[in-house]
Structure 1
Amino acid sequence: MSTTTDHIRQIVLRLLEADERDLTETSLFAEDHGADSMMIIQIQSELECELDIVIAREEVPRMIHLKALREVVARAVAAKEAARAAISSEEPSASPA
């Protein structure tokens, strides 16, 4: 997960044009880094594309800092894995001929 964690951090750093020293786990995207709602949507979109996940609309307001963002991503990954498992369990098993 640390590779994903580092990747999330790099995406946020790039999109917020933040200094690596200033972006902490709990520094607020809006208040501390000047992010507006469009920047948050860009972060969402980039993460969805890069990590092949879907972040639910109701999760976006929770994306206030890096720690919260990682929690949102973890829930999206878990939802994707649960959906994949459900689909796999519904597929008919091949019967030997």
Structure 2
Amino acid sequence: MSSLTPSHLTDDLKAEIKELVCDILEVDDDEVTEVSLFIEEHDMDSLRAIEIVAAIEKKLNITIEQSAMAEMPNLEGVYAVVERTIRN
């Protein structure tokens, strides 16, 4: 496992987050990897980025800082931000 991969998120939770992301980006889940870039590879725009954050916040009942969006270029980044937010 990569040292960048958060250790406290369950595989089920990661799968739920990935499903949310794929639904919003309107891509099949096999097209999105932990390191594929949302903007460059999946045509994400700023509105979809906000939708992703809002969906995760609602699903997990957390609040993600607006500044953290820059740390979420791919699923690996999303997992790290969610992990940090849950711990704090």
Same fold (TM over 0.5): yes
Q: How many residues align?
A: 79
Deviations 1:31-81 (A, max 9, x none): 1000001101000000000000110111011110001110010011111xx
Q: In structure 2, what is the Cα distance between the partners aligned to 1:3 and 1:54?
A: 20
Aligned to 2:20: 11
Q: Does 1:54 align with 2:63?
A: yes
Runs of 4+ in 1 over 3 A off after TM superposition: none
* Structure-2 residue corresponding to 1:64: 73
- Give 1:35's aligned residue: 44
Structure having the higher Rg: 1
Mapped to 1, the partners of 2:16 and 2:30 lie a distance apart of 16
1:21 aligns with 2:27: no
Q: Which amino acid aligns with 2:45?
A: D
Residue 21 of structure 1 aligns to a residue in which SS? helix
How much identity, in percent, do the aligned residues show?
32
Give me the CA root mean square deviation: 0.7
Residue 22 of structure 1: how far off its partner (Å):
1.1
Would you say 1:77 and 2:76 are equivalent positions?
no
Q: Distance in 1 between matches of 2:85 and 2:62?
A: 6
What letter corresponds to residue 12 of structure 1 in structure 2? V
User: Counterparts of 1:78 and 1:54 in 2: how far apart (Å)?
Assistant: 12
Amino acid of the structure 1 residue aligned with 2:74: H
Gaps of 5+ in 2: 1-9
